Amino acid sequence: MPFKKGQSGNPKGRKAGTTNKSIEGIRKFYKDFLEKNVQGIQDNYDKLSQKEQLQFLLDISEYVLPKLSRQEQTGKDGEALPAPVIIRHDPTKQETG
């Protein structure tokens, strides 16, 4: 006999929104590790090229920022909107190598 939606086989089980204790331990480990090693992480970050620094920030952003869903933007009567593209280039900040 299947369960009804919103009911489990254990009615006295964990309440919705309760944090998994093993996940809490892992989060605490990472928080403590990062707090104790901030300067070393910064020193290593400073040694990266600009491209590597940007990639690092992009890689960790998914763990810090909420993910956004895509939303289609349309004009009047569902027509496509022109998308402005702005590209700025500063030749004085080019990397070599």
Residue of 27 and 68 predicted with greater confidence: 27
Average pLDDT over residues 78-88: 78
List C-alpha distances in Å: 50 to 15, 38, 40, 62, 93. Answer: 46, 19, 18, 19, 9
- Give Cα 79 distance to the centre of its chain: 32
At 66, which amino acid appears? P
Q: What is the pTM of this model?
A: 0.49
| CB-based contact 50:93 (threshold 8 Å) | yes
pLDDT confidence band for 43 (50 / 70 / 90): very high
At 80, which amino acid appears? A
Q: What is the pLDDT of residue 33?
A: 93
Answer whether residue 14 shows pLDDT above 60.
yes
Q: What is the pLDDT of residue 45?
A: 95
